[in-house]
Amino acid sequence: MSIIEKLRAREARTAVIGLGYVGLPLAVELAQAGYEVVGIDVIAEKVDRVNAGDSYIKDVTSEALREVVSSGRLKATTDFSVLASCDTVDICVPTPLRKTRDPDISYIVASVEEIAKYVHPGMLVVLESTTYPGTTEEVILPMLARDDFRVGEHFFLAFSPERVDPGNPRFNTKNIPKVVGGVTPRCTEVAAALYSGALSTIVPVSSAKVAETVKLLENTFRSVNIGMVNEIALMCNKMDIDVWEVIRAAATKPFGFMPFYPGPGLGGHCIPIDPFYLSWKAKLAGFEARFIELAGQINGSMPEYVVARVAEALNRHRKAVNGSRVLVVGISYKANIDDIRESPALDVMRLLVRSGAQVVYHDDVADRRDHELQHLEAKPVDLSPQTLATCDCAVIVTGHDGVDYKALLDGVPVLVDTRNVFAGVQSDKIVRL
């Protein structure tokens, strides 16, 4: 039986490497579609929680996880040798940037090194981790192929970009269209067969490089437009114009305009990072991606601008940042999710500490176990009247639902609102972005 026949009959055994925000939802979707799935992760705690049906990802309910685990369709392990009996494997591991803004694909390479030990005829390997164009063909392919073991004939290799939007109630792994690009046309066909058995819409493209670039274009589009509107916000502040009102009115145009909103900086694993994968690769080809670099500079400078606004707010009360107690409200990178990776709140807090402020924070949603948070000189607090009375200034960096913002405004002398939480509220206490 061919790999495509096995996939269509749900007789293929699938594997997912990396059980994080991308990998675990994918593993559950594949299992719910009837595939036998094995999830692989190097973190034993994640493996144990998956096998116990205890979800640590907001977009996957423990109920859904328990159902596929108890049915035997999903199990997790730290042992890569299970790949020897798998027909397909998806790589869903992190791809951070180094401090030099060079791509760090070490997690991909480590995963492929393990796959290479167990790759066998008929196996499909799909990379989902965001990376620069050419990674699939230039890095992964040479690690798996041999003269007597050819891609598109003996094994299949493709790239399919993850498009996860954590916390989005409308779009999820199942219904977000799935772009698939293989190293050969046959590779594309096999990878499309895997995903079409579990996901709603498959979008085949002509090559892995095209699929890799699709993901980078999507997030570069957002980065550049956010950078532009952040610059507009800086400009409006200089001219004493309400940027939020400007955007609100511009958004009434029914064509030719898409609203983007300013903020304290970019966060998450994708938008602050992915554009630099593209600009790095462009430099190797002798092309300077000026829009990408400029947007990165503007977005990267926003935490400093927020701290400058905090200083202005404190000045109204004849206080300096140095020695003031500043409350940061919301530290995850996005409202109503627990992920603080690349969150601008971390930079805002570091800059405030460096300026001599006594920094405290409130966030009942964010994962406080994150190692970056452990190294910050900031402590979590509640939003009781007693706590607020001790603060000289509050700054809203992430606007989670469930926060009593009226009590926050009433309880502090002055407040910096970087997310327009207090849209339409007139108060001398509020300093807007």
Partners of 182 in the β-ladder: 158
Q: Choose, from 86, 92, 236, 270, the residue flagged as catalytic.
A: 270
Q: Measuring CA to CA, how many Å separate 107 from each of 23, 41, 319?
A: 14, 11, 47
Q: Are 270 and 130 in contact (CB under 8 A)?
A: yes
Q: Measuring CA to CA, how many Å separate 306 from each of 66, 134, 416?
A: 43, 38, 8
DSSP string over 197-230? TTSS-EEE-S-HHHHHHHHHHHHHHHHHHHHHHH
Say which residue the tokens 């989005």 belong to. 168
Q: Is 270 a catalytic residue?
A: yes
Residue type (1 letter), 52? A
Task: Please state, in angstroms and rounded to a whole number, the distance separating the CA atoms of residues 132 and 264.
Answer: 27
Task: Check residue 234 and give left, alpha or beta (phi > 0: left; psi -120 to 50: alpha).
Answer: alpha
Q: Measuring CA to CA, how many Å separate 424 from each of 229, 420, 432?
A: 20, 9, 12
SS (H, E, C) 115-146: HHHHCCCCCEEEECCCCCCCHHHHHHHHHHCE
Say which residue the tokens 């159902």 belong to. 67
CA contacts within 13 A on the Cβ side of 264: 37
- How far the first Cα of the chain sits from its last, in Å, is 61
How does 163-181 read in b/e, with b if 16+ C-beta sit within 10 Å? bbbbeeeeebbbebebbbb
CA contacts within 13 A on the Cβ side of 329: 26
Best CA proximity match to 271, nearest among 77, 130, 433: 130
Q: Which helix (H) or strand (E) holds 246?
A: helix 243-250
How does 374-400 read in b/e, with b if 16+ C-beta sit within 10 Å? eebebeebebeeebbeebbbbbbbbbb
Question: What does the DSSP 8-state code read for residue 273?
Answer: T
Q: Which backbone phi and psi does 14 adopt, to 5 degrees?
A: -110, 150
DSSP strand pairing (156-159 vs 178-182) = antiparallel
Task: Please state, in angstroms and rounded to a whole number, the distance separating the CA atoms of residues 78 and 104.
Answer: 22
Active site residues per annotation: 270
